[in-house]
Chain A
Amino acid sequence: MQHGLNYDVAHMLAGGLVLVSFMMLYQVRLSSLLRVFAAHAVVLALSVAWQAYVQGAPHLFVTAAIALLFKALVIPVALNRIIVRLGIYREIETVFGIGLAMLVGMGLVALSMALMLRVTAEATPLAREDLAFALSVVLLGLMMMVTRRNAVSQVVAFMSLENGLILAAAGAQGMPLVVEISVAFSVLIAFIVIGIFLFRIRERFDTVNVQALDSFRGERS
């Protein structure tokens, strides 16, 4: 029966991650988007920690700790300070409406379920479900990156996408280098955030709207 519990908890946490990804889709304010993202990272940390416990792989606890400290705490706080300083605390625009975004998101989840469950017929049920959920989170993150036009929310979308990858890596039984990969990703994200900080995209462009940046293209001047 122990196996059943292991499976159920892992299933619940991974499903929770997909759910939080959906919640991010309809956040129209940057501040609330950051809070939901922090929740996303907490769920990821729990999920990875559970995998560490189930697989008896103590090194995964490091990955969980990184997720908890870095992504649920440091990054949201830093980004929050940025958006307060830039005065873009309130509205963010989406390219298409919330209803449509949710529908497309549901389609993507259905797609990844259909795809992964069919392809991974030989793997263990735990790994299969985890991988299917992970692909859903990745696809939802990708969709968010495409639909958001704001630099900060693109970063948040990228981080949610990356959470999906960490989930997949943790779910793959005994995969080496997971810790190294999560560290490498953290460095990457730290670079992005520092980049936004240092270059103060707003000062340069007067807006963090990526669409406005397009007008600077050398081709059109």
Chain B
Amino acid sequence: MNPLAYPAVPAILGIPVAAAVLMAVLPGYRLTARINVLASLATFLSALSLFVLNREEAGTYVLVDDLNVVFIVLNTLVGFTTSVFSASYIAHELETGRLTPVYLRFYHAMYQTLMFGMNLALMANNIGVMWVAIELATLTTVLMVGIYRTPEALEAAWKYFILGSVGIALALFGTILVYMAAQPVVGEGPPAMVWTVLLKNAAEFDPALLNLAFVFLLFGYGTKVGLAPLHAWLPDAHAEGPTPISAVLSGLLLNVALYAVLRFKMLLAANPRAIAPGMLMILLGLLSLTFAAFMLYRRNDIKRLFAYSSIEHMGIITFAFGMGGPLANFAGLLHMTMHSLTKSAIFFAVGHITQVKGTQKIGDIRGLTESHPLLGWGLVIGVIAIAGLPPLGIFTSEFLVVTSTFARSPLLAMPLVTGILVAFGALLLRLNGMAFGVPSGSKAPVEASIVPLYFHLALVCIAGLYLPAPLVAWFQHVARLLG
């Protein structure tokens, strides 16, 4: 078989579906956990093949272009490493009886369904399909957040459900409005929802309708990005669900929602008479950043702490894309990649830490570097990275965001830098208590999956020291596409 004829797109979408069905049927958690890892690996390899294959022309439903390849590869990579982490995490949950084998089967099936939903949303060329895929991803995560069935978990799931549904509803209204704007130009029927067709004709759309549509889409999908003031579901969902889900939520699902916003932003940018969409994104981004940075100080739950940190970073990324221009877009893309890798690594560490200590309260976790050196130092490196200290990758991207903002509008840079510094202080303050001092709680060794944790951290570290030239060129190319 000609290797270039490998059907990458059907594989990326089909493998998760097949795996989900398989795992829903098969008994035994060891087997299903292995299938989960294998399926995620296969999806990741298929995604990698997109780099070398000749891409097909954009169809009515599926599109692979230079922009979404970055997202797809990142998505499947983190999906794969999280599945490795999840296997060891879940084994512990079974031992302690928090999850039963039946729920576990459900959990694995949902995990792959979520991967399918996210991959479909990323590859969709049809704005209706994109909407349905994001709804599917939301639903599966709602079910997984509530899987422990404690009152807190159910409340978190309910809140996520209601707020997520409102967001999804607003996004649909925006989608309908985009269709209404396209219909007089493109004509009735399916082509008026195909993104590539829309982009080609965007200049002739009615600008007023397009503006209104973007506001609905930004607030709708923005709810799923976790932008303030629509973020209320995010900390609860992160804190009460299984930790692998927190990692996937923070690392991937927020990106997918932001990707949807970016696609529509490109439509607006292609229409000279429409408003500049950047200002709204800048405002929402700064609001999220500032709000989350101050909220970080009063957290006493470790998973909530990092959930707020996710809001903060999504704020920075939204801000960067809102600024626009090659440099800020480049910084936004890099920051998004780095944040995904770092935040999921942190949640890997946090998952094992909460399991061994039996608590999520920050005050009850002390001296980790002494009692569990590998986990403890992993957390230290992760938090240092997420706080934006050199030489790690997030420092590079935050530095780029800040310098490009200073160069263009120093006034906007002031709140940006303030927010970053405030968050920095809060994170290091909390880290100090958790990582150092006299160890508390159980000192029992853990069977932790250290490999995914340090693999992510190594990637972040390498990216901070040296970015390979082809990667830089690729990101620059995508940044120009984003306009």
> Which residues does A use to contact B, with CB under 8 Å?
115, 118-123, 127, 131, 134-135, 138, 142, 145, 151, 154, 158, 161-162, 165, 168-169, 172-177, 180-181, 184, 187-188, 191-192, 195, 199, 201, 204-205, 210, 213-214, 216-219
Contacts and interface: CB of A to CB of B under 8 A. Distances in A.
Given A201-B154, A204-B151, A173 B183 contact: yes
B162 A175 contact: no
Interface stretch (B129-137, B195-203, B466-474): B129-137
Given A118-B208, A204-B151, A145 B162 contact: yes
A188 B135 contact: yes
B166 interface: yes
A122 B184 contact: yes
Contact of A174 (B169, B189, B239, B299): B189
Interface stretch (B173-181, B261-269, B440-448): B173-181
Given A151-B158, A199-B146, A219-B301, 7 more contacts: A119-B209, A123-B209, A131-B177, A174-B183, A177-B132, A195-B161, A205-B155
27 contacts: A119-B208, A122-B184, A123-B184, A131-B176, A131-B180, A134-B173, A138-B169, A138-B173, A145-B162, A162-B169, A168-B173, A169-B176, A172-B176, A172-B180, A172-B183, A173-B183, A176-B192, A177-B126, A181-B172, A199-B146, A199-B154, A204-B154, A205-B151, A213-B151, A216-B151, A218-B304, A218-B360
Contact of B132 (A169, A180, A213): A180
A165 B173 contact: yes
B100 interface: no
A162 B172 CA distance: 10
A122 B206 contact: yes
A218 B173 contact: no
B249 interface: no
A205 B157 CA distance: 14
B423 to A, nearest CB: 18
B155 A213 contact: yes
A214 B152 CA distance: 9
Contacts of A120: 180, 206, 208-209
B116 to A, nearest CB: 15
Contacts of A191: 139, 142-143
A219 B238 CA distance: 13
A160 to B, nearest CB: 11
A173 B180 CA distance: 8
A188 B128 CA distance: 16
Contacts of B172: 165, 169, 181
Contacts of B180: 120, 123, 127, 131, 172
Which residue of A123, A176, A214, A219 has the most chain B CB atoms within 10 A of its CB atom?
Answer: A176
The 8 closest A-B pairs by CB, nearest first: A174-B188, A177-B128, A119-B208, A176-B190, A213-B155, A216-B151, A168-B176, A216-B152
Contacts of A184: 132, 135-136
Contacts of B132: 177, 180-181, 184
A192 B161 contact: yes
Contacts of A131: 176-177, 180
Contacts of A127: 180
A67 B393 CA distance: 51
A216 to B, nearest CB: 5
Contacts of B152: 216-218
Which residue of B180, B183, B240 has the most chain A CB atoms within 10 A of its CB atom?
Answer: B180
B45 interface: no
Interface string B375-389: 000000000000000
Contacts of A216: 151-152, 155
A173 B173 CA distance: 15
A170 B328 CA distance: 40
B182 to A, nearest CB: 10
Which residue of A169, A184, A204 has the most chain B CB atoms within 10 A of its CB atom?
Answer: A184
A174 B176 CA distance: 11
A179 to B, nearest CB: 11
Given A120-B209, A184-B135, A218-B360, A177 B129 contact: yes
Contacts of B162: 145, 154, 158
Contacts of B142: 191
Contacts of B139: 187-188, 191
B418 interface: no
B165 interface: yes
Contact of A177 (B136, B193, B206, B239): B193
A207 to B, nearest CB: 12
Contacts of A213: 151, 155, 158
Contacts of B136: 184
A187 to B, nearest CB: 8
Given A115-B212, A175-B176, A217-B152, A165 B169 contact: yes
Given A115-B212, A184-B132, A218-B304, A165 B176 contact: yes
Contacts of A145: 162, 166
B398 interface: no
A151 B157 CA distance: 13
Nearest to A154: B162
Interface in B294-317: 299-301, 304
A219 B169 CA distance: 29
B149 interface: yes
Contacts of A161: 166, 169
Contacts of A201: 154, 158
B179 A172 contact: yes
Contacts of A119: 206, 208-209, 211-212
B129 to A, nearest CB: 7
A66 B59 CA distance: 30
A20 B128 CA distance: 28
B19 to A, nearest CB: 21
Which residue of A177, A187, A199 has the most chain B CB atoms within 10 A of its CB atom?
Answer: A177
A158 B165 contact: yes
Contacts of A174: 183, 188-189, 192
A204 B169 CA distance: 28
Interface string B206-237: 10110110000000000000000000000010
A143 B71 CA distance: 36
B207 to A, nearest CB: 10
Contact of A175 (B131, B165, B179, B206): B179
